[in-house]
Amino acid sequence: MQKPYFGRLLTAMVTPFNADDSINCQAAADFAEWLLDHEVDALVVEGSTGEAATMDFDEKVAILKAIKERVGGRAPIIVGAGTNCTKTTLELVHAFEEVGVDGLLVVGPYYNKPTQEGYYQHFAAVAKSTKLPIIVYNVPGRTGSNIEPATIARLAEDFSNIVAVKEAAGSVAQTAELYRVLPERISIYSGDDNLVLPFMSVGACGLISVVGNLGGHLVQQIMRAYTEGRVEEAAKLNRDLVPLAKTMFCESNPIPIKYAVTKVTGIDVGKPRLPLTPLMEADAVKVDALLRHYGLEQA
């Protein structure tokens, strides 16, 4: 099995909305194509950055179809199928299978705060229901509880279609423990741009990125330098990226990145949906200054 399973850089792409708050399938397809033209190895559609929590079932299928029709076959398309209800998650999985995706990103059920056995049973139900490869997504800051490495190791042992982990607990120690307990075949992806280098030092092999929405080169160069043994260069490149990565979280994701994407690409991805609000003016000034500093403003 190849590793990293879906490539080194997966971008968690934003979801474009029209001015009337409806989904913009044309812009989504345009943006997917832009990303693949800018050093992104694979697309993650309808994840946290894609505002999946505010999209209904039909919208999720429609925008996925538009992206699949435009760029399907060029790179893996992974879709966020996680909800806080196992039954609803399975319904999404089956719908996405019919569209023809390449993989699933399944977040730990949020709000419910399952036990570790509950996490195991949830992911086991998903794995049994599909042959698609699955990325287990651990993000305690959004879900309210942590999927422990031992639980993920148990799932990886029992289900061959669990192929990767997106680790976004923010802990280098937990990532090191994942690398220790997981089978060698499992790809560990950092879920935080500003932690990709320390995570790689303890066993991660790639990144599921927010900053990648502005161009894959911004983080590809860090990972490339590290894997080629140019560790000091990787550290300097990472140092240079940290201000941009931090600023993309100056307000709740994806508020800043959506603002920045429109500026950088010229593709209007619209405003976030409520309960998220547009980027505040003071933060927009900060983002604009950083985009100029990094030479990212559209010519």
Q: Quickly list DSSP for 62-92.
A: HHHHHHHHHHBTTB-EEEE---S-HHHHHHH
Distance CA 95, CA 137 (A): 20
pLDDT at 299: 46
- Mean pLDDT confidence for 3-22: 96
Extract the tokens encoding 29: 């397809």
pLDDT at 55: 97
pLDDT at 86: 97
Extract the tokens encoding 174: 């937990």
- For residue 282, pLDDT over 90 is answered with yes
Residue 243 CB coordination number (10 Å): 14
pLDDT at 298: 67
- Mean pLDDT confidence for 183-207: 97
- Mean pLDDT confidence for 153-168: 98
pLDDT at 3: 86
Scan for tokens 């309210």, then name that residue.
144
User: What Å distances lie between residue 39 and 36, 85, 141, 271, 279, CA to CA?
Assistant: 6, 35, 29, 25, 27
Distance CA 249, CA 70 (A): 30
- For residue 169, pLDDT over 60 is answered with yes
Distance CA 205, CA 3 (A): 8
pLDDT tens digits along 65-90: 999 999 999 999 999 999 999 999 99
Extract the tokens encoding 90: 């399975």
Q: What percent of the chain has pLDDT over 90?
A: 98
Q: What percent of the chain has pLDDT over 70?
A: 99
Distance CA 260, CA 136 (A): 28
- Mean pLDDT confidence for 100-126: 97
Least Cα distance to 249 among 175, 168, 144, 176 occurs for 168
Mean pLDDT in the chain?
Answer: 96
pLDDT at 1: 67
- For residue 250, pLDDT over 80 is answered with yes
**Chain CA centroid to CA 114, Å:** 22
Distance CA 53, CA 85 (A): 12
Strands 42-45 and 9-12: parallel
| Cβ-contact 216, 9 below 8 angstroms | yes
Phi first, then psi, for residue 85 (nearest 5°) are -130, 120
Which positions ≥6 away from 79 have C-beta within 8 Å?
44, 45, 46, 60, 64, 96, 101, 103, 104, 105
Least Cα distance to 204 among 217, 193, 216 occurs for 193
Instruction: Grade residue 101 by pLDDT with cuts at 50, 70 and 90.
Output: very high
Residues catalogued as catalytic:
137, 166
